Structure 1
Amino acid sequence: MNRALLADFLRDRRARVSPSDAGLPAGTRRRTPGLRREEVARLAGISVDYYARMEQGRGPRPSRQVLAALGRALRLFEDERAYLFQLAGEQPGPPSGPSQIVSSGIRHLLDRLDDTPAFVIDAKYDLLAWNAMAVRLMGEPPPERNMIWNAFCGPWPLTPDSPPEALAFADESLADLRAASVRYPDDEGIRSLIARLHAASPEFTRRWNEHRVCVRRTTVKTLTHPVHGELVLECQLLHADEQGQRVVFYTAAPGTHAADVLCGLRGRIPSI
C-alpha cells in the first residue's frame, strides 16, 4: 500500500468533483473547489475521521468495500478506480455499477439541444434526465422511470401480438439488460429489476430465456404524436461508458414530415 500516493490521489480527485456532479447542493462559503472531506465521507458511508486520516497518509489499509464506496463518491472513471485499488494494494474487481448521477456537462448538453429531443438512460434503462424538446415530443415522463418495466408491465404490456416495433424494442432492450447484468454483476439495481420483471411478466421470462445479448446502437423509430401523427425518427445513442449511461437523441432527415414537426415543436418550447 502506497499511503502517500493514495493521499495525494484522494485530495486531487476530491477537488475535481463539483457538488452538483455528486448530487449535492452547491451551498455557500466554499473557499476551495470540489467536495469537502465530510461530504466525501458521507457519500462513501464512512466516518469523517477515517477519511481524513487517509488523506493525511496515516490511515489503515482500506477494505475493498471502502475503496468501492470511495470510487462511487468521487465519481471515478474505470481506469481511475483501478488505480485507486492498486494504490491500496488491492486488485480491482468488476465495475461496481452504472451511475445514476448525470454530470453537469451532460445536463448542459441537453439544455443546449433546443431543436433535438434528447434524454439520458442508465444501463438498466432508468430514465435519468431529459430536455424540453423530449417533453414536447413524448409528453412528461411517467412515474415509473424504467423503460423496460414500462415495455413489459406498463399500461400496455407486451404480448406476442404487440406491434412489431414494440416487440423489437423489447428484444433489443432485454438483450442490452442481459449484457449489463454481466458487465455489472454486483449491481443490486440490475438484479432487483430482473427479479421484478420475472415475477410480473411471463413474456419477459420467455424472452429472457432466449439468451440474447447485444448493446443497442443507432436505429430508426416510429412515434405517434397526438397532434402530428406518425413520425419516423432516427434514434442516435451516445455512450458515456465511464458512467454506464447513454444519451439518446431523436433526429429526422431534412425535408421529411418529422423534420418539419420537430422544427415546429422547437418554436413552441417555453424557456425552462
Structure 2
Amino acid sequence: MGRSELADFLRHCRARLTPAAVGLSQGARRRTPGLRREEVAQLAGMSTDHYTRLEQARGSRPSRQMLAAVARALRLTGDERDHLFHLAGEEPPRARSTTEHVRPGLLLVLDRLVDVPARVVSDRGDVLAQNAMAGALHGDLSARPAAERNIAWLYFTNPSARELFPAEDRDRAAGNLVADLRATVARRPDDVRLAELVRRLRARSEEFVGLWDAHCVAVRRADTKRFVHPVVGLLELDCEVLLSPEHDQRLIVYTARPGSRSGERLELLRVIGLQELTHS
C-alpha cells in the first residue's frame, strides 16, 4: 500500500471539487480550495477522523467498501477509481454485467436535485447513492453494511421499511419488488450475487417465498407511490425511473404535484432534513 501516494491523490481530488459540484453550499470564509475533509467524509458516510488519517498517510488500511465510498464522494471516473484501489493495495472491481460505481455525471444530476428525494439504485435493488431528501424520506443507509442496502432486503426483513407504506399498499409494494427482482434474475441467470440475495431472502421471509414462487415478472417503471412519514404524514409522490445507458443503474426521482397537499409536506420534509443535517 503506497500511503504517501494515496494521500497525495486524495488531496488532489478533493481540492479540484467545488461544493456546488456536489450539491453543497459554498458557505463563508472558505480558505481552502475544493471541499473540506469533513465534507468528503459526510458524502462517503464515514467519520472525519478516519478520512483525515487517509489523507495524512497514517491509520489502518482502508477496506474495499470504504474505497468505493470515497470514490463516489470524490466523483472519480472509472479509471481514477481503479487507480485509488491500486494505491491502497487492492484489486479494483472487475467489469461485470452490473457495476456499483456510479458515474460522475449521474452523481452530478443527483446532487442538483436538492428539493426532491432521489436515489441511484442498481437493477439488483442496491441503493448506490441517495441525496439528503431521500435520506429524510427513506432513512440514512450509510451506516448499514453494503449487503443490507438493498430495497428488497430492507422491505422483507426490516419492519420500519414496511411501515413507510400505508398498510393497504404493502401487498402491492411487495409484489412489485419481487416481480422486478425476478426480471433481473432472468436477464442474468449466472449472477452469483443475485442468486445469493434470493437465497437469503427465501431464508428470511415466508412472504418473499410465496411471491417468488408465483413467478410474477415486471420491470420497475414510472409509478405513483404513497409514503407515511412519521413527521410530515402521508405523501403521494410520482416516481420517475431514469435508466442508465446500460440499464444496470436507475435514477429514481420522487416528486409531488405542484400545489398539492403532498407538495406542501414534501417542502416541510426538505426543511426538516436540512435542520437535521445542520444539527448533526
Change in Cα spacing, 1:152 to 1:137, as seen in structure 2 (3 Å) is closer
Aligned partner letter, 1:123: D
| Match in the other structure for 2:179 | 175
SS at match of 1:99: coil
Offset from partner CA, 1:183-242 (integer Å, 9 cap, x none): 122211101000111112221111111111110111111111222211111111111141
Q: CA deviation at 1:139?
A: 2.9
| Match in the other structure for 1:99 | 99
For residue 206 of structure 1, the aligned residue among 206, 210, 229 is: 210
Offset from partner CA, 1:1-40 (integer Å, 9 cap, x none): xxxxxxxxxxxxxxxxx9x9x94769xxxxxx85659949
Offset from partner CA, 1:104-156 (integer Å, 9 cap, x none): 11111111111111011111211111001112233323733111112222236
Looking at structure 2, the residues matched to 116 and 191 of structure 1 have their Cα atoms a distance apart, in angstroms, of 33
Looking at structure 2, the residues matched to 157 and 254 of structure 1 have their Cα atoms a distance apart, in angstroms, of 27
Change in Cα spacing, 1:199 to 1:115, as seen in structure 2 (3 Å) is same
Looking at structure 2, the residues matched to 262 and 127 of structure 1 have their Cα atoms a distance apart, in angstroms, of 21
What are the residue-to-residue correspondences of 1:42-191 with 2, within 5 Å? 43=91, 69=94, 72=95, 96-141=96-141, 143=144, 144-155=148-159, 163-191=167-195
TM-score (ref. length: structure 1) = 0.63
Segment drifting more, 101-110 vs 251-260 = 101-110
> For the Cα contact (< 8 Å) 2:232–2:268, is it kept in 1?
no
Change in Cα spacing, 1:224 to 1:121, as seen in structure 2 (3 Å) is same
Looking at structure 2, the residues matched to 250 and 114 of structure 1 have their Cα atoms a distance apart, in angstroms, of 12
For residue 256 of structure 2, the aligned residue among 236, 249, 252 is: 252
Give me the CA root mean square deviation: 3.3
Change in Cα spacing, 1:260 to 1:98, as seen in structure 2 (3 Å) is same
Looking at structure 2, the residues matched to 120 and 127 of structure 1 have their Cα atoms a distance apart, in angstroms, of 6
For residue 215 of structure 1, the aligned residue among 188, 194, 219 is: 219
For residue 265 of structure 2, the aligned residue among 242, 261, 265 is: 261
Looking at structure 2, the residues matched to 204 and 134 of structure 1 have their Cα atoms a distance apart, in angstroms, of 25
For residue 240 of structure 1, the aligned residue among 231, 239, 244 is: 244
> For the Cα contact (< 8 Å) 1:152–1:204, is it kept in 2?
yes
| Match in the other structure for 1:195 | 199
> For the Cα contact (< 8 Å) 2:120–2:249, is it kept in 1?
yes
Change in Cα spacing, 1:209 to 1:38, as seen in structure 2 (3 Å) is closer
Q: CA deviation at 1:164?
A: 3.1
Looking at structure 2, the residues matched to 245 and 149 of structure 1 have their Cα atoms a distance apart, in angstroms, of 18
Larger C-alpha radius of gyration, 1 or 2? 1
| Match in the other structure for 2:51 | none
Looking at structure 2, the residues matched to 239 and 215 of structure 1 have their Cα atoms a distance apart, in angstroms, of 12
Give % identity: 35
> For the Cα contact (< 8 Å) 1:97–1:186, is it kept in 2?
no
Q: CA deviation at 1:97?
A: 2.8
Structure 1 gaps, min length 5: 1-17, 27-32, 46-68, 73-95
Aligned partner letter, 1:234: D
Looking at structure 2, the residues matched to 157 and 264 of structure 1 have their Cα atoms a distance apart, in angstroms, of 21
TM-score (ref. length: structure 2) = 0.61
Task: Pick the structure with more helix per residue.
Answer: 2
SS at match of 2:114: coil
Looking at structure 1, the residues matched to 261 and 108 of structure 2 have their Cα atoms a distance apart, in angstroms, of 29
SS at match of 1:98: coil
> For the Cα contact (< 8 Å) 2:233–2:265, is it kept in 1?
no
SS at match of 2:243: strand
SS at match of 2:159: coil
